[in-house]
Amino acid sequence: MLSKTIVKYIQSLAHKKFRQQENAFIAEGSKVVTDLLVSENFACKIICANRTWISENRGLTEKFPLDSVIEITGPQLKKISLLSSPGEVFAVFEKNETHIIPEKQISIMLDEIRDPGNLGTIIRIADWFGVKNIICSEDCVDCYNPKVVQATMGSLGRVNILYTNLDDFLRNHIISMYAATLGGKNIHEFGKIREGIILIGNESKGIKEKLLATSAGRITIPGRGKAESLNAAVACGIILSHVV
């Protein structure tokens, strides 16, 4: 049964403070929830779903204790959902501690990405290109923010995300970093890379000067029009499509 306590608990997880306190986050919709369950990267604490979803996904939920799978009605789903068109299922997962070893592979580093849609899209892009690691500055938007979780379309369960001080991280790893910025080397002249970090900066301010100074190279996507810049997630996708 969906008690008032559970509703209150679920609603609190829309806020970062409570996600930190409870070490948990929410996910909605069959695609996202199913992908997170299958990935087994996050322990699932509660599933609220309609009867159809529960009966169609017995294989995924039978390992959970009976009281953590709650059958709810459409209006109840609407009540707890943050989406304008709620799906069939809503779940609470435990957050996960991530350790990242960037050597011998390509990773993405994000300097102050603020927009939840952008971070979610970048996680989805990383998953598409088989990039396993995303290293986020501490002032990036929380990857457990519900809008980020939705925008990942389930990719959150397949990518490791670490929040850390980027300068400290770079001091502790011997690895080349390539910054996405204007005035660098044309992406078409940039060869494929097997190892390294692709650095993407803030939506309006770009990459912090100190961080930019540490980069081994600068990559530029040549434009012919008059737009001042590309969206951060689009730039990330374009660069990965050329260098991976």
Sites of contact with a second copy (CB under 8 A)? 117, 121, 124-131, 153-155, 158, 187, 221, 223-231, 233-235, 237-238, 241-242, 244
Q: Which is nearer to a second copy, 164 or 229 (by Cβ)?
A: 229
CB of 40 to a second copy, least distance (A): 13
C-beta neighbour count of 87 within 10 angstroms = 19
CB of 2 to a second copy, least distance (A): 28
**For residue 97, what are the contacts with CB-CB under 8 A and spacing of at least 6?**
none
End-to-end Cα distance, the chain:
48
* Tokens 């017995």, residue located: 58
CB of 79 to a second copy, least distance (A): 24
CB of 231 to a second copy, least distance (A): 5
Q: Which is nearer to a second copy, 197 or 221 (by Cβ)?
A: 221
CB of 110 to a second copy, least distance (A): 15
Q: Which is nearer to a second copy, 212 or 230 (by Cβ)?
A: 230
Q: Which is nearer to a second copy, 91 or 240 (by Cβ)?
A: 240
CB of 187 to a second copy, least distance (A): 7
Q: Which is nearer to a second copy, 166 or 232 (by Cβ)?
A: 232
Q: Which is nearer to a second copy, 117 or 184 (by Cβ)?
A: 117
Cα 4 versus chain centre, distance: 30
